[in-house]
Amino acid sequence: MKVINLYQQEKEMIQLAVDNNRQAQQQIYSRFSPKMLSICRLYVKDVQQAEDVMITSFMKAFISLKNFQHNGSFEGWIRRIIVNECISFLRVHKKVNFIEDTFYIEESTDVVECDLATDEIQLMIDNLSEGYKMVFNLYAIEGFKHKEIAVMLGINEGTSKSQLSHARRILQQQINATKKYDYGAK
């Protein structure tokens, strides 16, 4: 049995894509597009618009592919392009407003047990205001620090913390309301 080095295969596929090999570009797209669409969907509510953002992101990725240095994961590199494109899309189309305040409550990191389906959780996140949703996704899903989020969004670090605090509070209220409804206590 021959052991195949996946990293080397990925590196070769990337090089072929840099050289405008359409088959290699299609392989990259096929491999990463499902996951990247789910990332777009975290930020962009409408599925068709999320697909448009994803396609635009892949076009930008293929144009910039020659700049990929192989210093980190390729998936992480594409993911960063996707997130930045989602932010740009929301700025242009949704006119995202951030409430400039520095009031926030340090959240506990207790794990909350919840039997909600992924679609229910996504709907709750979708119902957040665009600013709350963007900061929540960048912090809780993507793992960015408040300082990085502040730079990315052009806001104060305190505003990022405040937006996250408000988003968490709203999501917790929605989860609690769902639990009460499920247990018959309206």
Q: pLDDT tens across 29-62, in order?
A: 999 999 999 999 999 989 999 999 999 999 999 9
Distance of alpha carbon 160 from alpha carbon 102, whole angstroms: 8
**Per-block mean pLDDT, blocks of 10 residues, the chain (186 long):** 60 92 94 95 92 97 93 92 94 72 52 68 89 93 93 92 93 83 55
pLDDT at 1: 57
| Largest CA-CA distance found in the chain, in angstroms, rounded | 62
CB-count burial class (<10 Å; 0-12, 13-18, 19+) for 36:
buried
Distance of alpha carbon 76 from alpha carbon 83, whole angstroms: 10
pLDDT at 109: 45
State pTM to two decimals. 0.76
